[in-house]
């Protein structure tokens, strides 16, 4: 068996055969499949075409299944291989399709499945990147990573880890994906070995699995660190793999650090929450919109209050005080219009109608 960091135990009966001239090249016997929105249909197409005597073991994590049973989403097995819900400590055997458990990272160790309780990655647990990364760490060039339909940019970092460790990458054609973001971002970041339409994914995967795996290379230190974080093991020293940034984690409010290695711009906090730059920007946009809506409500209420105070001062004959409050109300009106423009509503304050004292409601 060719070594990868250390000698890997045979995966059930899927270890590389030896001949008279020495050890044969190990097979591509670890296939990790990930996706999100729209990934069930292409996943079923892949499973339907798998051979009954497959020498590989298959592992599936879909972000859309984090809140429920992945088996229920897939339905009846579409192909000859059994669908096996993953359990912590379960031995890895060829000819099986292991399904991620809800709210646990599906992680691979040599010969064994682990379910991690580590922090969410891109708001997901199980996370595609965590599965891909652990497979790359444990099995190196024996891995084939398959990325299917999904939103945002999840999976690209994990596919990059597989390529860095000598594995192969198969990506669904984004033009055929229901949600093209994930495959498109992966193709932009990672030199994929194949890109196929939905009905060609099975054949493309069969060709990649049949290729002999290349020689193992050095294991990037950051992979071991991030797999430990996903597993929920304490003591991971993030400073070994990342540099602090002036950006706040949307999950816990801590400082985010930028991961140094890899082709994908990513961030992690000390708690372990992880984000691609695109996922982080999307979350920041949501947070900004929420903050602006809160600010809009507060400023509108402030404008209403000072308008009433101006009206009250007029009724009491105090024109100087009334003018001061009216000027302040006009300032608040301007703030309201500015915030609404930032929110993209384009509504003028007066479209809501006039409130008490001639003030907009």
Among candidate residues 36, 124, 185, 257, the one labeled active-site is 36
Q: Could you confirm whether 36 is annotated as catalytic? A: yes
Exposure string (b/e) for 79-105, b if CB count within 10 Å is 16 or more?
Answer: bebebbebeeeeebebbbbbbbbeebb
160 classed as catalytic: no
The residues, ordered by sequence, that sit 6+ positions from 127 with a Cβ below 8 Å of its Cβ are 61, 63, 105, 120, 121, 154, 230, 274
Active site residue 312: no
Q: Given 129, 154, 160, 333, which residue is catalytic?
A: 154
Catalytic-role residue among 4, 28, 63, 273: 63
**Strand (E) or helix (H) holding 171:** strand 168-172
Query: What gap in Å lies between CA 37 and CA 66, rounded to an integer?
Result: 12
Q: Is 18 helix (H, G, I), strand (E, B) or coil?
A: strand
The pair of structure tokens assigned to 264 is 């994908």
CB burial of residue 32 (10 Å; 0-12, 13-18, 19+): buried
* Closest C-alpha to 35, from 44, 27, 24, 26: 44
Dmax (CA) of the chain = 108
Active site residues: 36, 63, 154
């Amino acid at each position: 068996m060719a070594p990868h960091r250390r000698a890997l135990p045979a995966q059930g009966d899927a270890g590389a055969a030896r001949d008279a001239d020495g050890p044969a090249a190990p097979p591509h016997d670890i296939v990790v499949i990930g996706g999100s929105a729209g990934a069930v249909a292409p996943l079923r197409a892949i499973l339907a075409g798998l051979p009954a005597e497959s020498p590989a073991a298959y592992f599936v994590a879909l972000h859309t299944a984090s809140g429920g049973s992945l088996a229920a989403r897939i339905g009846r097995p579409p192909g000859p291989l059994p669908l096996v819900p993953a359990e912590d400590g379960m031995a890895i055997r060829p000819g099986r399709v292991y399904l991620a458990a809800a709210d646990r990272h599906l992680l691979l160790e040599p010969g064994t499945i682990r379910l991690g309780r580590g922090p969410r990655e891109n708001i997901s647990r199980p996370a595609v990147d965590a599965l891909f990364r652990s497979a790359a760490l444990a099995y190196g060039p024996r891995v084939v990573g398959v990325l299917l339909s999904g939103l945002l940019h999840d999976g690209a970092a994990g596919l990059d880890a597989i390529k860095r460790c000598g594995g192969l990458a198969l990506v669904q054609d984004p033009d055929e994906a229901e949600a093209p973001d994930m495959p498109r971002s992966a193709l932009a970041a990672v030199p994929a070995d194949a890109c196929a339409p939905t009905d060609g994914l099975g054949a493309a995967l069969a060709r990649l699995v049949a290729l002999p795996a290349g020689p193992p290379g050095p294991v990037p230190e950051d992979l071991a660190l991030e797999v430990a974080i996903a597993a929920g093991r304490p003591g991971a020293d993030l400073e070994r793999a990342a540099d602090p940034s002036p950006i706040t984690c949307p999950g816990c409010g801590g400082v985010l650090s930028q991961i140094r290695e890899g082709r994908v711009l990513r961030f992690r906090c000390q708690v372990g929450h992880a984000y691609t730059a695109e996922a982080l920007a999307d979350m920041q946009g949501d947070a900004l919109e929420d903050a602006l809506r809160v600010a809009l409500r507060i400023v509108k209420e402030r404008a209403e209050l000072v308008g009433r105070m101006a009206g009250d001062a007029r009724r009491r004959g105090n024109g100087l005080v009334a003018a001061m409050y009216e000027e302040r109300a006009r300032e608040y009106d301007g703030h309201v219009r500015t915030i609404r423009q930032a929110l993209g509503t384009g509504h003028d304050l007066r479209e809501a109608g006039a409130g008490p004292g001639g003030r907009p409601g």
